Structure formats: structure tokens, C-alpha cells
Amino acid sequence: MQLKDNIKFSIDNQMSVGGEDCKNILIKGDNKAILPELVPVYGGKIKCIYIDPPYNNGDSYHYYNDNTTTSAWLKDMHSVLSWLRMLLKKDGSIWISIDDKEMAYLKVEADRIFGRENFASTIVWQQRKTRENRAVFSCNHEYVLVYAKDIKAFKKSRNLLPVGEDFVDSKYKNPDNDPRGPWQSVSASVQAGHAVASQFYTIISPAGVEFDPPKGRCWAYNQEKMLREIAEHNIWFGLEGRNTPRIKKFLANAKIGLTPETLWSGDNYGTTDSAKKHLLSLFPEMENVFDTPKPEELIKQIIEIASNEGEYVLDCYIGSGTTMATAHKLNRNYIGIEIGDQMADLVVRRMNLVINGESGGVSSAVNWNGGGQYALYNFDKNKVEERKIEDKPTYSRQPVQYHQLDLFDLFEQYGEEPITQNCMVREDIEIEYGTKHNHRHLPIDLTKNLLICNVKKDNWEQYLDGSAKIYYTGKRFPTSVALNKLYYFMPYLSGKGIRDLYYIKIARLGYRKEGQVNEDKNDLRLVFEIERVGQLFDDYKKVKLEIWRTFTDTTMKKIIELIE
């Protein structure tokens, strides 16, 4: 499936510089309506997402009004971030600009969606270099929250910062003329906190000097491997063979670069003021350019850390178009979404200047000389295909048959690729922040559907303490249960019953290891991402599980009436 196959997207041939097969895409419309439509096409394919959403700081700008309630703002962010997570590759990352006012609340919401374990860092960016003397404090910084889809995968794939030849020459030498080339040495001992007995022994150097591991440390290898490494000249004892052993690490095998730091200065990565001056140089005739643009230097740093050439970058609040312009100059594919008039006033015009070789921003740093293309689409969420309406055939009522949802057949078809078409995301959940409810006054809707699922004793702990975020089904799930109608979830603890109520935020296909990390990664299951509402009953109540003694599909009203 391609974007052009979705009737809600129509290409603007007059304003596009490229056709429907172009991988660089701009979309005019509401991101909350557009993102769900992108999931079937781009789910699991986006390597880097950068967004600069409205900060809800109470100000009014030329292109948008940034003043709403915190709960309404968080509801919008919840919806957008939930869909963006589904678009990310496993080793992908999302970078979110924000200021002091809503940063703490946004981080809590992002923790819920991406998982606290996938929080990578908070970047502090110096967005202004002048002092603001009218305020209580001169606020010279903003934040960039960084989350990964999978923090371990992101750590392996993210890029290091480049270093110069002088740095390499200062670190890597070849004092023994090793034919494998320059190397540097690292300690052959490590902390002994998780050591085993085989890591404690005496090493004898070529000069006959004996070395035991320092107190509180052990050797990095067991004795058999250490002797092999010594024989292969991978252990350095100094020119005379009398020094403490160290492990040789060769330049030829090294991933050279510096780990990114979290303090980004305006001198190195630009400021709001420098970004605005860049826009004014592009559009000197305009009295009002974008009020809060980001500099290309800042976005270049993000894109280069988080992606490689040819991979997809996405921004669903493109504003003045900085992310798209920078991605274009860095030879990334990109998708940009904007609902405001600046799409035509600024973004399209800016991208045309970029294609024609515009020399501002990061152009000189990346040797940009122009070229490339993009396709502009208009999005109409109300547009549907005209279909001939036919009379529905009538059927005699038959007893309900519960069939198994064949997850393993789907796995054979898709492998480890995310099956994003089979998903449901709840956008109408209201979660009030900073409030607590007792079990008699839970904010529940009695008309909503409830799914009760059996939980075995080995998974009780996370439900007893209310920390559960994931429920995964067994090997089968009844096809009679409509995922898009589910709203609430209650775990049935084997032998105890039901008590606690959860929202079902997302229903999708995933892997069992999401609930049990030690399980086989290819063990495909139906996964519910859940959020605890509270304790519905004073104590556990036993109910009859109607489907395979494992599931019950009902409504809140019916279950409460049954218990009472």
C-alpha cells in the first residue's frame, strides 16, 4: 500500500516538485487525523521523529494561538505520541522540543506511552544568548526530550559525533609495530561485583612478572581465554614485558566518535534569534515570519545522531519547515505535516529555495548545492470512496461460535515486521492528572465495553501492585471480540477473581517478551497496552469466564449489576 492509494490524500501537482512516487512528502492537514492514516503505510519505518509542538505557554503568535488548558493539551499530546510510537522503527527515536511550563507533565505522559525504560535523555539547548531583564529569571534554555522505541536497539544504532584526525592520532598508537595497525589499550581488569571464580587467577607476563587482579576487581576474561589472547598478541605488557596487562583495541575494529553530550550551546547549535534571521533572509518581503523557528544547526545535530542517509525523518508540527529543509540537505527521506497557513506561506517556498541551492543554515557545513524533489498532498478526512449500496442479505441466527485468531499464521506472513494494520488506539480516554479516586467514585462510563482476561499466578505481581502496563493474550484469542469496541480491561487473577479496572489504550499485535522479557522474541501474541483507573470493588469478586474459561466480553453496566 502507498499513500497515493488512500483517497483521503490528494497530490497538489501545481505546488509539488515531484510525483506520487517521491519519497519526500509534505501533507497539509490535521496531524491527529493524518497520523492514523500513515500507520498502514509507514508503520515501523520511521527512524527519527522530531516534533516542536505548541508549548501551551499562554502566548498568541502570528500563525497559531498557544493557550489552552493543561489537560486538553496533554490529551492532544497523548493522541499524537501514541500514533508516532507506532510509526517508529525498533531502533528509532523521537525528539520533542518543550519549555519549562509543560515539560514535567509532558515527560510523565511520554513515560506512559514509550515506557520509562526507553527514556534516553533530556537535551538542554541554549535558545537565547541575551539576558531577559524583565523576568524573574532570564530563561535562556529549552529542552529536547529524547525517547527510543527500544532503548537497547537505539543505543546500538545511534551515531556518534565525528572526531578529527588529531583526536584519532592522539588515542591510537603502534609502539610494537603490530601489523594490524594502530591501537589503544584498556584495562584488563573489571569490577568484581558479578565475577565468577574463573576470573580470579595469576597472570605471568613475558618477563616473568606475576600479576593478580587489584582488590575489588577481577580479570576481564577467564584464564583460558586470557592465555589465548596473550598468545595472539592482544594483551600489552609494555615494551619490556613488565607492566600491568592491558587489552589492545585496534583502530581497524573501532567505532570512532564521541558520545553526544546533553548541553547544547547556542554558539554551536544556533538560537531562536539566529533561526529567525535566517528566515528573514529567505523572505525579506515578509513582515511576519514564524515567531519561534528552530535553527537548522540544532536539527542537523538531531538528525545526524538519530538517522543515516536514505532513512525516514518525520515531523508532524513542521512550522517554518526547518526539519524538512535540514533533512533534505542531509539526504534523508522525510514526511512533514502542518495544518496552518505557513505550509504555503513558508514551507513550500522554503523547500523550493532549498532545491534551488539556498546557501543559508547548514548549507555550507554539508556542502549543499541544491537538487531533489518533494510531493505536497492535501488531506481531507471526510473524503470517502463512493460505493454502490446493496441490500444486505439476511441470515438465520446461529449459535455463537468462538474461533481462534490465528496469530501464528500472521507471524508466518509478516515475520518480525510490525503488523500495524491490526491495531486500535483509544483517543477518547480522559486521564485527570494530579487527582485520585477511591473505588466508589471512579470516572467510568457504564456503557463502555469491558474485556475480562485470565491472569496466571506467575504474572500476579504487577497486577497486585497496580504497575501493569502490558497484558498479552495466550496463544489464541476469540475472533468474536471486536478490538475497536473495547474500552476497559479487568484482570481475572486465577483463584481470586476481578477487582481492579484499567483502560485499554492500545490493542495491537506484538511479542510475549513485552510482558516477560525472558520469553522467545518470536512468540507472537495479541498485546493490550493498559493504564490503571483504580479499584472497582472492595475485594476480589469471582465471575464466570465465558469463553474458553479465559475471557469475558461484556459491558461495565452488566458486570456491576452481576456483582451487586
Closest among 275, 306, 36 to 155, alpha carbons compared: 306
Whole-angstrom distance, CA of residue 95 vs CA of residue 48? 8
Helix, coil or strand: residue 44 = coil
Which of left, alpha, beta for 298 (phi over 0: left; psi -120 to 50: alpha)?
A: alpha
Whole-angstrom distance, CA of residue 204 vs CA of residue 231? 12
Whole-angstrom distance, CA of residue 249 vs CA of residue 374? 45
The total of other beta-carbon atoms located within 10 Å of residue 377's CB is: 22
Q: Which helix (H) or strand (E) holds 84?
A: helix 70-87
Whole-angstrom distance, CA of residue 433 vs CA of residue 419? 32
Handedness of CA 321, 325, 330, 336 (dihedral sign): positive
**Adjacent-strand bridge partners of 144:** 97, 123
Sort 231 into a burial class: Cβ within 10 Å, 0-12 / 13-18 / 19+: exposed
Q: How do strand 65-66 and strand 375-379 relate by DSSP bridges?
A: unpaired
pTM over 0.85: no
Whole-angstrom distance, CA of residue 244 vs CA of residue 241? 9
Closest among 335, 346, 352, 429 to 31, alpha carbons compared: 335
What domains sit in the chain, N to C, each tagged with a CATH number? 3-160+259-379 (3.40.50.150), 165-253 (no CATH), 407-563 (3.10.590)
Closest among 469, 459, 474 to 489, alpha carbons compared: 469
Helix, coil or strand: residue 557 = helix
CB 512 within 8 A of CB 527: no
Whole-angstrom distance, CA of residue 471 vs CA of residue 512? 9
Alpha helix locations (H) across 256-406?
A: 266-269, 272-282, 296-306, 322-329, 342, 348-355
Joined grid coordinates for residue 113: 506511552
Whole-angstrom distance, CA of residue 39 vs CA of residue 83? 8
- pLDDT by residue, tens only, the chain of 564 residues: 688 788 899 999 999 998 999 999 999 999 999 999 998 899 999 999 999 999 886 655 555 556 678 888 898 899 899 999 999 999 999 999 999 988 999 999 999 899 999 999 999 999 999 998 888 898 899 999 999 999 999 999 999 998 888 888 899 999 999 999 999 999 999 999 889 999 999 999 999 999 999 999 999 999 999 999 999 999 999 999 999 999 999 999 988 888 999 999 999 999 999 999 999 999 998 877 888 899 999 999 999 999 999 999 999 999 999 999 999 999 999 999 999 888 888 999 999 999 999 999 999 999 999 999 999 999 998 876 443 334 444 444 455 444 554 444 544 444 444 444 445 555 555 544 433 343 345 667 888 899 999 988 888 888 888 888 888 887 777 777 777 788 899 999 988 899 999 988 888 777 666 655 555 556 677 888 888 888 888 888 989 888 888 889 998 888 888 876
